[in-house]
A and B are shown apart, each in its own frame.
Chain A
Amino acid sequence: DIVMTQSPDSLAVSLGERATINCKSSQSVLYSSNNKNYLGWYQKKPGQPPKLLIYWASTRESGVPDRFSGSGSGTDFTLTISSLQAEDVAVYYCQQYYSTPITFGQGTRLEIK
């Protein structure tokens, strides 16, 4: 199984400041035949289902604010929120869909400082 490890486990950032969440996979999730990283990012708020933010490691899902961006390749990935808003308080998960079982990181809790 591919193990996804996020850092940090929790993060407190001031409103308007940048938030950075890292995700490391135990093996590469870059598929050589199409040069795509099989990596997604989700936002999870209490009582709501997860919301897809980013897929293919860096493609923003339709309707997601452009303050959210994803980067990285191979085994190391980053989700960046460029200017934190109050509504961004949530738990964020990375997910690999390169191979089964599909696996998620343990989550990073993002709060306002």
Chain B
Amino acid sequence: QVQVVQSGAEVEKPGASVKVSCRASGYTFISYYIHWVRQAPGQGLEWMGTINPNGGSTTYAQRFQGRVTMTRDTSTTTVYMELSSLRSEDTAVYYCARVLEANSAYRGFDYWGQGTLVTVSP
């Protein structure tokens, strides 16, 4: 069965970086794009970007350009999202999610990780 499991909660200081992992299993890893979405406390859902595990190409939301890096490791079927120059407004739950349809970047997201709370605090 498909599973998407994220790394645990992180506490970081302003200006630091955080790297969240997302391990996928139960399907052909390279066939499905992975997206990252975050939710700040009391706020809605915000899309950050996507990575194609087949080759590693990425598309980022413009507001995160220059601060976010998404990578993958096919040997461990894991995707990573690193966010740098953290500020308090980056405090949020970060989710990875698999796209619904193989070999398609933009579809609904059918399997989600459990979420990783990143807290940015002095």
Contacts and interface: CB of A to CB of B under 8 A. Distances in A.
18 contacts: A42-B109, A50-B112, A51-B112, A52-B100, A52-B108, A52-B109, A61-B110, A93-B45, A97-B106, A97-B107, A97-B108, A100-B61, A101-B61, A102-B47, A102-B106, A104-B45, A104-B47, A107-B44
A98 B104 CA distance: 12
Interface string A28-67: 0000000000101010100001111001100001000000
Contacts, number: 57
**Interface class of chain A by DSSP:** loop
Interface of A: 38, 40, 42, 44, 49-52, 55-56, 61, 93, 95, 97-107
Interface of B: 35, 37, 44-47, 59, 61-63, 95, 97, 100, 106-110, 112-115
Contacts of B108: 40, 52, 55-56, 61, 95, 97
Contacts of B47: 101-104
